[in-house]
Structure 1
Amino acid sequence: MIVAALSWQALRELGPTHFAMVVLAVAVGAVIFSAVGWWTTGYQVVARELRITEGLIWRRNRAIPLDRLQSVEVRRPLLAQFSGLAELRLEVVGGGKAEAPLAYLTVREAAALRERLLALSGRTPEVSVAEADPAAGPRTASPGEQSLHAVGNRELLISQLLTPQAFFLPIGVAWVVTQFVMEGSWTFIGIASTVTAMAGVLLQPIRRVLRDWDFRLARDPGGRLLLHYGLTETRSQVVPLHRVQAVRITWPFLWRLTSWLYLQLDVAGYGAPERGNDTGSDRLLPVGDQHAARLVVGAVLPGVDLAALATSPPPARVRWLHPVGLRFMGVGLHPDVLVTREGRLSREMTLVPYARLQSVRVVQGPLQRMLRLATVYADAAGGRSGAARDRDLAEAWALADELARRARLARHPIPPPAPAAPSDLGQPADETFWQRPAQA
């Protein structure tokens, strides 16, 4: 709306003819600039490196080691869908955004390059281009894919109607209409600013619907996770399961009326998405019920059953710090993952595999020191942490030691012992587990 207001002002000052010439000159300049950028950009795969050269006046050369590659995504904006082109985006360790966006390639070239890069990155078998070619369209699965789950567009639309933006929109419209009736007349700037504010409220739900339209989750013959979604911009994302750092499950307040939730994925290289930023590539399930969540979590973290993840609450004295959200806080140690949960209006659960833990921290604030409490952070490479908040101090240190031990065992498992002698059979194993200390 701001651009429209400025364009209207320019049209009044320049006149239709000069204004059309200015718009045409800007459009031609943008096309020439894009064409020069595309013409001067090239790539080359040398050994286990992707080398990218770009720039006309200032040349820029980048070498990306493929052993740092986390995920490769094929994006097709609306115009690219009509022209048969695609953009390839690489996510690498330590990057907060796409390290090497290659725009634009043909769809088949993008698919072939994606499979080649994933194969060279290690631990992922190469798949034929015919199986990975997204030219068949985002609505049908490739021959080699094993479909896991598909989100209905009706559920997606209803879920975005159950958001604060859509819920309070009628109140905002009623307030605007009341103000207009009382004022009698509004200026163009007043109308434009009001419409802009209302459009901003609706923009986030609409963007989510367009982004997650026809969301499909599948697995390829190599065991990698495949995500296909998008309407105006289709995306085909490949995530090797060994790159998954954590899974976060969220139950928004209004969604609990329908028992819905959504899942997010942490992959090293994406970084933690900023609050309110919907452009990240961290989605795993945009909306679904408990059954769908169990299916998806079991596919991403084999052996983990979402319905069996019990947690223990913090000590009762934490109610002085969290009088409302105490009963929604908890932590649990399960054979393969650390489970933490928290939240008041929106409830969250975080699952962190022990093999992905990078560090364990015990943190105490001023109030926590007074109440002999501490928070244990289990840091993964994806940017998020599992946080066991406000635990008893002795319990926090015992939990940190146990997490460090389990992380070491997950990375370097101890080989099974030799068969015991007949006289030793039936003796209990000597193994120490983390336990909450008894309350005084």
Structure 2
Amino acid sequence: MSEPRVPGTPAEPGMPPVPPTASAGQSLPPDPIASAGATDLTDGQWHRLHPATPLLRGGIVLVAILGFVLANFRERLVDWIFGAPDLPGDPLQTAYERGQLGWAILIVIAGLVVGIVGFYASWRMHTFRVGDDVVEVRSGILFRTHRRARLDRIQGVAISRPIFARLFGAAKLDISVAGQDAKVQLAYLRGSETDRLRHDVLVLASGARAAAAGPDVANAAVATGAAAASVVPGVVPGVVNQRMRELLAPELDPALAPPESVVKIPPGRLILSLVLSGFTVVLVVVAVLIVVMSLLGRREFFIFLILPGILAAIGYYFNRFTKSLRFSIAGTADGVRIGYGLLSTSNDTLPPGRIHAIEVSQPLLWRPAKWWMIRINRAGAAGQSSAQTSTLMLPVGTVDDVRKVLGLLLPGLAGEHTRELLLAGLVAKSGAGFTDAPRRAWPLRPLSWKRTGFAQTDDAILLRSGFVWRHLTVVPLARVQSLRISQGPVQRMLDLVELTVHTVAGPVRATLGVADRAGGTAAFGRWSAEVVEAGATDHSHRWAEGQTS
């Protein structure tokens, strides 16, 4: 057995300190942290999550399962508990007639107590702390889990607010680091704490020196406490107003960046882009197939394919529409911030140097409207359930939107010459600064050989390809993992090669299927030397080192 701890003494490692108690005739000084209504979450100490975390993470699911079981197995439960299958009616009436109502109430109360104690223990054992170099999370009751994330390996910090969590003023913080399934998740925190913690984590990851706390910090804490106290007389109206402001506020504040750096997607464009998507084409083909099968007398296809297909299509369109309706992207001091979502919202901050590849693509049905889509490769996003949204930088946009977004993702592409080169990579059929595939590549690329080529800027490799589905891939030199040049038997006959630029796993594949052998070999040698040089001089993992936050 451990000895009792004296109040006011330091706690054991990983445990919160015991607050001091007042003896007879003495009074304790007011706690400045408690009076200010805020705590420093990056002080290196262990902290707990939002008190509603057990309910938000599993309580609702447990209640739903319990309700389903009671609704579907009601008579069997009555038979098993009371041994009275011949007594119809409500279980409480059955218990009353058998004289077992007290036992039934005790069973219900015991179940509730066990559930509450389990949730409370789970919340108590789930703690986190943020130090100068790492973020740590410990969780679990019987099976303990301890996750650590190095701050200099952070690939992005995302804040998501599911619709039910928003009612409690809670939010989830995801810290993505390099590696498969290496994400550290804090679910859930108070909304104001989440935004402040995201800022502090990015400041620590950037290498910036923290400014010394002076009188201004204390005055700010006092002002915060006074502001919190001013709403005490109207607690309920104040909470309701605050929740309404949070629900109606934009996920990404346009004031964080100049107005010209924020892309706006009109609802009409978004709806039409979904209608003209590849999913719609597949849906039409499946519908035609089902109609043909129905005309041939296979009526069962209507029940087993039409109804599930309609429900799946509605869910797909609704999910894509609600996630992209309030889409916004802007540049901040800590990197690019992307926000999206209507009911359940999310915003993600990508620090500088965390984008490994960029792809600008245009489906055939979007070509008359001159719309484009932008996706990226980022470390740690592959295999995650949110990979599609975390790698989508522009759901649908014009050429001007593409220029703005590319300027945010890679500031080195903002030069006049580079902008012209990018525009040529999007719309030009051949030439315009690109080294195109020769005419003898026609047998392998009968439609797109004129649009297949490569180019290079001071800090990136550009690959252009595609006729039906146009692609422009941009890979920063400092983010290249490896290079490959290959030649199959048919390519050897045509004096062609294939070039591949390897990056982290993701939706973007930086491959050029055909290129002239002499030009491709020269580019491979040049890129190999410049990639090594760019990697040696890259310091984007500590993008603000030496500065003062």
TM-score by length of 2: 0.63
Asked whether 1:387 is paired with 2:507, we answer: no
CA distance in 1, matches of 2:509, 2:285: 37
Asked whether 1:324 is paired with 2:447, we answer: yes
CA distance in 2, matches of 1:411, 1:278: 26
* Alignment of structure 1 residues 40-189 onto 2, 5 Å: 40-95=125-180, 97=181, 99-123=183-207, 135=246, 137-138=249-250, 141=253, 143-147=255-259, 148=261, 149-167=263-281, 169=283, 172-173=286-287, 176=290
Matched residue SS, 1:242: coil
- Write the deviation string for residues 67-124 of structure 1: whole angstroms up to 9, x where unpaired: 11110000111111222111111111123x4611211111112112211211111256
The residue type equivalent to 1:82 in the other structure is: L
The change in CA–CA distance for 1:373 and 1:139 in structure 2 (over 3 A counts) is: same
Report how far residue 312 of structure 1 moved: 2.2
* Alignment of structure 1 residues 398-417 onto 2, 5 Å: 398-411=522-535
Q: Which runs of 5+ in 2 are unaligned?
A: 1-68, 79-89, 92-107, 212-216, 225-244, 414-418, 426-432, 538-549
Further displaced range: 345-354 or 33-42: 33-42
Report how far residue 169 of structure 1 moved: 4.2
CA distance in 2, matches of 1:376, 1:273: 29
Report how far residue 280 of structure 1 moved: 4.4
CA distance in 1, matches of 2:384, 2:71: 42
Computing the radius of gyration over CA atoms, which structure comes out larger, 1 or 2?
A: 2
* Alignment of structure 1 residues 185-334 onto 2, 5 Å: 191-220=303-332, 222=333, 224-271=335-382, 279-304=388-413, 305=419, 306-307=422-423, 309=425, 310-334=433-457
CA distance in 2, matches of 1:308, 1:125: 43
The residue type equivalent to 2:318 in the other structure is: I
The residue type equivalent to 2:510 in the other structure is: G
In the other structure, the counterpart of 1:352 is 475
Q: Which runs of 5+ in 1 are unaligned?
A: 1-9, 414-440
CA distance in 1, matches of 2:71, 2:186: 41
Further displaced range: 386-395 or 60-69: 386-395
Matched residue SS, 1:158: helix
Contact 1:166–1:202 at 8 Å: present in 2 too? Answer: no
Percent identity between the two aligned chains: 25
Contact 1:115–1:126 at 8 Å: present in 2 too? Answer: no
The change in CA–CA distance for 1:98 and 1:85 in structure 2 (over 3 A counts) is: farther
RMSD between superposed Cα atoms in Å: 3.9
The change in CA–CA distance for 1:79 and 1:390 in structure 2 (over 3 A counts) is: same
TM-score by length of 1: 0.77
CA distance in 2, matches of 1:37, 1:279: 31
- Write the deviation string for residues 152-194 of structure 1: whole angstroms up to 9, x where unpaired: 22211111011233346466556656766875976xx962543
Contact 2:370–2:399 at 8 Å: present in 1 too? Answer: yes
Report how far residue 367 of structure 1 moved: 2.6
Further displaced range: 175-184 or 243-252: 175-184
CA distance in 1, matches of 2:178, 2:531: 20
Matched residue SS, 1:191: helix
Matched residue SS, 2:401: helix
The change in CA–CA distance for 1:197 and 1:375 in structure 2 (over 3 A counts) is: same
Contact 1:162–1:254 at 8 Å: present in 2 too? Answer: yes
In the other structure, the counterpart of 2:47 is none
Matched residue SS, 2:442: helix
- Write the deviation string for residues 341-395 of structure 1: whole angstroms up to 9, x where unpaired: 1224211110112222232221223332343322122223465553233223232
CA distance in 2, matches of 1:199, 1:293: 33
The change in CA–CA distance for 1:14 and 1:359 in structure 2 (over 3 A counts) is: same
The change in CA–CA distance for 1:253 and 1:65 in structure 2 (over 3 A counts) is: same
Matched residue SS, 2:337: strand
CA distance in 2, matches of 1:342, 1:374: 15
The residue type equivalent to 2:143 in the other structure is: W
The residue type equivalent to 1:328 in the other structure is: R
* Alignment of structure 1 residues 429-440 onto 2, 5 Å: none
The change in CA–CA distance for 1:259 and 1:35 in structure 2 (over 3 A counts) is: farther
CA distance in 1, matches of 2:150, 2:119: 27
Contact 2:135–2:148 at 8 Å: present in 1 too? Answer: yes
Matched residue SS, 1:321: coil
Matched residue SS, 2:135: strand
Report how far residue 313 of structure 1 moved: 1.6
Further displaced range: 66-75 or 263-272: 263-272
The change in CA–CA distance for 1:33 and 1:164 in structure 2 (over 3 A counts) is: farther
Report how far residue 230 of structure 1 moved: 0.8
The change in CA–CA distance for 1:280 and 1:288 in structure 2 (over 3 A counts) is: closer
CA distance in 2, matches of 1:125, 1:271: 32
CA distance in 2, matches of 1:177, 1:16: 44
Report how far residue 223 of structure 1 moved: 5.2
Contact 2:171–2:190 at 8 Å: present in 1 too? Answer: yes
CA distance in 2, matches of 1:126, 1:252: 47
Report how far residue 271 of structure 1 moved: 3.5
CA distance in 1, matches of 2:121, 2:274: 40
CA distance in 2, matches of 1:307, 1:111: 37
Further displaced range: 160-169 or 228-237: 160-169
